[in-house]
Structure 1
């Protein structure tokens, strides 16, 4: 699959991924990409975030590919039962936080930490770091297993954000291209 054949929904995490974040850069670079906007990036509500994702999928005119980071990964996962899965071709899920990390951040709705019960109904790839401060590699591995997702080891990459040195993240873009090719 090529990017021109899909509507790419960028789903940021807490704070909304600033201008230098790889998601924002990819949003500018990929012509069919658009950000899923949220009313409150700093006090995320699972109900509001998942409803917005579901609305954006419903509005899509092309097959959907998600590119989600951090809390955005869990928003996509929790939105999956609310969307028409036949409209989604895949999900590229980067640096998901663990339930324990979510519970430690007071601003985040604890409903994001609820247990994942069923696999995603579309192909997905979880990119996980071995030294992410928001999840152990084992946490990400367990989540990928529950989701029925492929797990990709990003090595010592931190949270795969600006703070860990991932502004444009060209390696991630190459991995995303490989993911698309497999769809």
Structure 2
């Protein structure tokens, strides 16, 4: 599947992905990318986030590939349970949070109890060996439950601007591998 033939929905986590973040950069680079905006970035509520994501998927005019980071991974997994005959052809899941972690911001608590059912579309989960919000073991567990391909990004922190990931070219290569898989 070619990126030009898809609507790439970019889902940011808590606080949104600000200027310079790899998600914003990718959104500017992909021809049909749509950054999904939420009314509340700093005190998110699960229900409205699910509705916004579901609406963005339904409004897409081409097959959808989702690029989700952090809390948005949890939101997408919750949303996936509601999708029937979806347009979503694949998802790139980066730095999922472990809602059982004591280090996770309390604003993310409402997104807990993340479903463990397989996702209804192919996916790749990318995790870091030193993410303060999710251990490698927990990320592998998520990937296994969701049926996601798993990729370890090394010591990459939370894979955001704070951990030095502005353009994140390595991530773009991983995303390209997912897109190649979707061609088959």
TM-score computed with the length of structure 2 as normaliser: 0.95
Are the aligned partners of 1:85 and 1:122 in contact in 2 as well (CA < 8 Å)? Answer: no
Q: What 5-or-longer segments of structure 2 have no aligned partner?
A: none
Shift of 1:104: 4.3
Q: Matched residues in 1 for 2:67 and 2:104: separation?
A: 25
Say if 2:162 is the partner of 1:171.
no
Are the aligned partners of 1:46 and 1:75 in contact in 2 as well (CA < 8 Å)? Answer: yes
> Which residue matches 1:161?
160
Describe the superposition over 1:47-80 as per-residue Cα deviations: whole angstroms up to 9, x where unpaired.
1101100001111110000000000111111000
Are the aligned partners of 2:97 and 2:104 in contact in 1 as well (CA < 8 Å)? Answer: no
> Which residue matches 1:40?
40
Q: What 5-or-longer segments of structure 1 have no aligned partner?
A: none
Q: Extract structure 1 runs of 4+ deviating beyond 4 A.
A: none
> Which residue matches 2:117?
118
Describe the superposition over 1:97-139 as per-residue Cα deviations: whole angstroms up to 9, x where unpaired.
101238842223x331114231100000000101001100011
**Number of equivalences:** 182
Q: Matched residues in 1 for 2:164 and 2:84: separation?
A: 36
Q: Matched residues in 1 for 2:99 and 2:116: separation?
A: 14
Q: Matched residues in 2 for 1:102 and 1:127: separation?
A: 21
> Which residue matches 1:54?
54
